[in-house]
Amino acid sequence: MAILYSSKCRDRRQILESFYPFTKPAVIEGLIIGNDLDALLSAALLKQRYGWDVVAVYDYRKLWVDQRIADNVIQKLKSGVYLAVDLDIYRNAVPSIGHHILQLTEKDRLEQHEQTLNPNLIFGVDCRNFRAKYPLGTIHFLRWLFEMELDRRGELLCWLADSAYINAQSHRFRENVSHWLYEFFDWPPFWEIFILLDSADYEELLVREIGRTLDKILITPRPGQVKSRHKSLNGWQCQWSDPGTQGEQIRQIFAFIHELSGWRIPELPKFYSCITGQRKRISVAELLKDYGSLDEFLNREHVFSYAFTHAQLLNYTQFSSSPAGKT
Domain range summary for the chain, segments of one domain joined by +: 3-261
pLDDT tens, per residue, the chain with 327 residues? 343 444 455 689 999 999 999 999 999 999 999 999 999 999 999 999 999 999 999 999 999 999 999 998 889 999 999 999 999 999 999 999 999 999 999 999 999 999 999 999 999 999 999 999 999 999 999 999 999 999 999 999 999 999 999 999 998 899 999 999 999 998 999 999 999 999 999 999 999 999 999 999 986 666 667 899 999 999 999 999 999 999 999 999 999 999 999 999 999 999 999 999 999 999 999 999 999 999 999 999 999 999 999 999 999 999 986 565 443
DSSP for 236-291?
A: -----S-TTTSHHHHHHHHHHHHHHH-PPPPP--SSEEEEE-EEEEEEHHHHHHHH
The pLDDT of residue 320 is 82
- Report which of 176, 166, 177, 162 is spatially closest to residue 229, judged by C-alpha positions: 166
How many whole angstroms separate alpha carbon 104 and alpha carbon 130? 9
Phi, psi of 238 (to 5 degrees): 60, 30
The pLDDT of residue 169 is 97
The pLDDT of residue 3 is 33
The pLDDT of residue 171 is 86
Tell me if the pTM is above 0.85: yes
The pLDDT of residue 109 is 96
